[in-house]
Amino acid sequence: MELKICHIYPDLLNLYGDRGNIAVLAQRCRARGIDVSVHPLPLGERGDFSAYDLFFIGGGQDADQALLLDEIQQWRGGEIRAAIEDGKALLAICGGYQLLGHSYRTWDGKEMDCIGALDFYSVGDKTRMIGDYMFQWDEPSGGVKVVGFENHSAKTFLGSGVRPFGNVLAGYGNNGEDGTEGVRYHNVFGTYSHGPLLPKNPILADWLIRLALERKYGSAELAPLNDVLEERAHRYMVERLTKREA
């Protein structure tokens, strides 16, 4: 089996160790004999989106994101929308997540159009929501606690065309108000979680790989891996955050 990962805008959206997610996806494929390749797609470079199976967009600095909006409007927005509707797996973090929505309004009232692939919008705020956080993700049987680190000043509000990725157990999540975190739509996962997200949440990493392979090959079984270190790191944060909230 073969899996092609496309890293969108690695040159601009590469903050907070998010590249760790790619390392984890790639290595977990390799460990199972899946022929995996990573294709960086920097600003200004064109690529055939239909050739890729799994997309990743990370977070960046606010200044860089404004620059990016121009280009993404022009042409790549349409390709990302098409890939999403085509059922491609996509993980978008923080700034990359915000880009998928309708719009982003800065705290001083400037309205910026995003690519409108998903039904939500974001509004900048003066105070940042920063810290370790945790949310409940119910898709896997029995539910899973996802741990991460959030660092955003924008508040995101979901529309009726999408559902939240999870419910906040500790921290702020989408907006610190309605208890939701991230977005789910087809095979898209949007979230504020840095950390990076996947190293301490191996179930989620495998979920993404499986979705991408199922879309491509119809079905996919992933052999279990030795996740002793990952599970320990996950458990440590779950316990710490549970204690913090108590």
Report, as residue numbers or ranges, the catalytic residues. 94, 194
Minimum CB distance to another protein, residue 161 (Å):
31
Give, for 234, the enclosing helix (H) or strand (E): helix 228-245
Helix H or strand E encompassing 97: helix 95-99
Determine if 31 is a binding residue for another protein (CB under 8 A).
no
Q: What is the DSSP letter of 74?
A: I
Using CA atoms, how far residue 158 sits from 26, 33, 177, 191, in Å, is: 31, 38, 12, 12
Given candidates 166, 183, 230, 241, which one binds another protein under the rule CB under 8 A? Answer: 230
Least distance between another protein and beta carbon 160 (Å): 33
Strand partners, 38: 5
Whether 120 contacts 102, CB under 8 Å: yes
**Among the candidate windows 22-30, 96-104, 162-170, 209-217, which touches another protein by CB under 8 A?**
22-30
Helix (H) or strand (E) holding 241: helix 228-245
Among 1, 17, 66, 216, binds another protein (CB under 8 A): 17
> Minimum distance between the CB of residue 185 and another protein, rounded to whole angstroms?
25
Q: Which is nearer to another protein, 163 or 235 (CB)?
A: 235
Does residue 176 come out as left (phi exceeding 0), alpha (psi in the -120 to 50 range) or beta?
A: left
Q: Cβ 22 to another protein, closest distance in Å?
A: 10
Which runs of E-coded beta strand occur in 11-53?
A: 35-41
Site for another protein in 164-183 (CB under 8 A): none
Find the part of the chain contacting another protein (CB under 8 A) among 58-66, 77-85, 136-144, 211-219: 58-66
Contact residues: another protein, CB under 8 A:
11-12, 14-20, 23-24, 27, 61-64, 128, 130-132, 149, 151, 194-196, 199-200, 226, 229-230, 232-233, 236
